C-alpha cells in the first residue's frame, strides 16, 4: 500500500484512506481527545463492528475516552493487545499494521 495521505490541516481525511485509517486520522486530528473528531472516528468504527481493523481502532477510541473496560473488550475482539501506555505510540503501531 502506498504511504497514506495524512494531511491533518484538511477538514476531512483523504477518501483514498480505508475507513479504519480515516477513523485513525480523526483520532489524531482531534489530538487524541474527546470531541467532534473523536465522535467522527467512533461513528466510523461502529459501521463495521466485528471486522478486525475497525475493532482495533474502536479499542483505541475507547481508550482515549477513558473507558478501559470497553477498550479492553474491543482489543479482545480484534485479537490485539495494547503495546504502550501512550495513545500516540499505539496509534503509530496500528497505522503501521494497517498500512502493510
pLDDT tens digits for range 22-72: 999 999 999 999 999 999 999 999 999 999 999 999 999 999 999 999 999
Number of structural domains in the chain:
1
Residue 14 inside a domain? The answer is no
Tell me if 50 is assigned to some domain.
yes
Residue 27 lies in a domain: yes
Position 2 in a domain: no
Record the cell numbers describing residue 100, joined without a space: 502493510
pLDDT of residue 4: 73
Is 93 within a domain? Answer: yes
Does residue 5 lie within any of the structural domains? no
Cβ atoms of 25 and 17 within 8 Å: the answer is yes
Full-model pTM: 0.94
Q: Is residue 39 part of a domain?
A: yes
Over 70: is that where the pLDDT of 2 sits? no
CA triplet 84, 86, 87: central angle to 5 degrees?
105
**Packing angle, helices 19-29 and 87-98, rounded to 10:** 160
Contacts of 22 by beta carbon, 8 Å cutoff, 6+ apart:
13, 14, 44
Rounded to whole angstroms, the Cα distance separating 74 from 66 reads 13
Q: Which three cell numbers stand for residue 93?
A: 503501531
Task: Using the predicted structure, report yes or no on whether residue 92 has a pLDDT greater than 70.
Answer: yes
The verdict on residue 8 lying in a domain is no
Query: Using CA atoms, how far apart are residues 54 and 59, in angstroms rounded to an integer?
Result: 9
Bigger pLDDT: 92 vs 100 = 92
Domain limits for position 86: 19-98
Amino acid at each position: 500500500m502506498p504511504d497514506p495521505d495524512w494531511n491533518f490541516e484538511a477538514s476531512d481525511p483523504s477518501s483514498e484512506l480505508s475507513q479504519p485509517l480515516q477513523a485513525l486520522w480523526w483520532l489524531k486530528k482531534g489530538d487524541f481527545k474527546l470531541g467532534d473528531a473523536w465522535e467522527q472516528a467512533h461513528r466510523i468504527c461502529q459501521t463495521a463492528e466485528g471486522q478486525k481493523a475497525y475493532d482495533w481502532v474502536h479499542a483505541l477510541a475507547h481508550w482515549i475516552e477513558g473507558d478501559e473496560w470497553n477498550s479492553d473488550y474491543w482489543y479482545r475482539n480484534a485479537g490485539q493487545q495494547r503495546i504502550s501506555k501512550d495513545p500516540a505510540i499505539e496509534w503509530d503501531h496500528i497505522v503501521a499494521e494497517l498500512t502493510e
